[in-house]
A = this chain, B = another copy of it.
Amino acid sequence: MTHETTLDTMTPCHACPLRQLDVFKDRGRSEIDFIQAFKHDEIMVPAGTVICREGDSNVLLYTVLSGWVFRTKELGNRRQIINFGMPGDFLGLQATLDQPMGHGIEALTDVTLCRFDRTKLWALYSEHPRLAFDVTWLAAQQERSLQEHILTLGQRTAFERVAYILWHLFDQARTLGLVCRDRLDLPVRQQQLADALGLSLVHTNKTLQRLREDRAIEFSERSLKVLDEERLMRLARAKQQEPPSRPLI
């Protein structure tokens, strides 16, 4: 089912390319060593791979090293994309403590994942309270992001939703250095935007057209260009906030 490839040459944590980004907090040597020991292996999965399903137990813990993923929930024949995950995102925490996953996770692009041994999570808590704190921080941050999404689904119009999600993905990707000259490689289909926003594909498409006509964005060939960020944010009713310096595990 999965066509995962276990990589022979793991990226050593102390040389993790993500750690060089400003968004991620600096870490002491001993913590990085622990993370290194915590890390089980590193895998590559192709776009479209189901990393785990809603209801799965015994899911490993992952950090996205490269590529994009998304979380998803199903209801009958409909599906909701909960949110998108980018490098640095920590996955699978919910399956801790005999609880099944509340959502599935799929690879949006080809993805490299650091895989961690969940049985060592307890050691992390007892030996490295600082890391334990960071795990909680990541969970709280995830909560924040979900709350914002609830606001979007509950109170924004279709037009605002589409504007918001594009800006949000753009803004988030920018902190990871993925934006170059206001242009972002955005590997998302319109159907996926629709599934994330609770809209139909057709209406999402028509709304995108309006955003293009407004000269707020260009978006084609999997590439998003933000022509006027101020305008886009106004249309999305979004407010800028400093990206917090966040932990990487």
- A-side residues, CB < 8 A to B, are 71, 73, 75-76, 78-80, 82, 93-94, 96-99, 102-103, 122, 125-126, 129-130, 132-133, 135-137, 139-140, 142-144, 146-151, 153-156, 195-198, 237, 244
Contacts and interface: CB of A to CB of B under 8 A. Distances in A.
A73 B151 contact: yes
A77 B235 CA distance: 16
B136 A129 contact: no
A75 B237 contact: yes
Given A76-B237, A98-B244, A122-B133, 8 more contacts: A73-B148, A73-B151, A99-B140, A102-B144, A103-B147, A126-B129, A129-B132, A132-B133
Nearest to A73: B151
Nearest to A144: B102
A149 B151 contact: no
Nearest to A131: B125
A57 to B, nearest CB: 12
B156 A82 contact: no
A78 B155 contact: yes
Which interface residue of A73, A93, A136, A156 has the most chain B CB atoms within 10 A?
A: A136
B153 A154 contact: yes
A153 B156 contact: no
A148 B198 contact: no
9 contacts: A75-B155, A76-B237, A80-B155, A93-B140, A99-B140, A125-B132, A136-B136, A143-B146, A154-B195
Contacts of A94: 140, 143-144
A150 B237 CA distance: 19
A82 B152 CA distance: 11
